[in-house]
Chain A
Amino acid sequence: GNSVTQMEGPVTLSEEAFLTINCTYTATGYPSLFWYVQYPGEGLQLLLKATKADDKGSNKGFEATYRKETTSFHLEKGSVQVSDSAVYFCALSDLGGNEKLTFGTGTRLTIIP
């Protein structure tokens, strides 16, 4: 079956540091890949997505590239801010859309000034 393996947290970084949160997946066919973010007290929000190999999703300075050869979708940001502190979830859907997402465990990120 489908699965998503995400970098264990929590992760603590200083402001302006470079961020990488690793995500690898196992799926049949050609899944769509997503990063969701949950800020304190809020719901899960779509951060970015990629629907085919070599696509790069980007939003709010975050990027992730769909790497079929390594089955990975690592999240990166060049310079993190305190406001980026949240829980980040990697997810996939193999039904061509948002139905039945398979999530990772989430990575809690804390940015200190």
Chain B
Amino acid sequence: EPEVTQTPSHQVTQMGQEVILRCVPISNHLYFYWYRQILGQKVEFLVSFYNNEISEKSEIFDDQFSVERPDGSNFTLKIRSTKLEDSAMYFCASSSTRGRSEKLFFGSGTQLSVL
């Protein structure tokens, strides 16, 4: 079965540093998402992306966050100046269409630790 690939699996960074989390969605998918889960809390929606622009974002997704699809295969999440509270598991997801019958495919996540 096709899969969404995320790298690295674990990223450690210093507070204030920029970090880029990388995702390779399934090749024919058009809709891309980032979610995150802070330890012990709920998985939260961050942003959705379609046709090279953000289609929806949550309150968490402030000016410190950005997403990009720099080429035909990668989908990245950048945090410009990391804070301690950005420590979380970040999940990338993709789908080929929107609608009730479509499955969302998730990657295995990147565990970000901000020290």
A36 CA to B99 CA, complexed, in Å? 17
- Chain B residues near A100 (CB-CB < 8 A): 45, 48, 56, 58
- Chain A residues near B42 (CB-CB < 8 A): 4, 102-106
Determine if A103 and B43 form an interchain contact, defined as CB atoms under 8 angstroms apart. Answer: yes
A48 CA to B6 CA, complexed, in Å? 24
Determine if B100 and A32 form an interchain contact, defined as CB atoms under 8 angstroms apart. Answer: yes
Number of B residues with CB within 8 Å of any CB on chain A:
29
Q: State whether A96 and B99 are in contact (beta carbons under 8 Å apart), knowing that A43-B3, A43-B107 are contacts in the complex.
A: yes
Q: State whether A46 and B103 are in contact (beta carbons under 8 Å apart), knowing that A99-B56, A102-B45 are contacts in the complex.
A: yes
Main SS class of interface, A:
loop
Chain A interface size, as a band, is 20 to 34
Binding site for A on B (CB under 8 A): 3-4, 6, 31, 35, 37, 40-45, 48, 56, 58, 91, 93, 95, 98-100, 102-109
Binding site for B on A (CB under 8 A): 4, 32, 36, 41-46, 51, 89, 91, 95-106
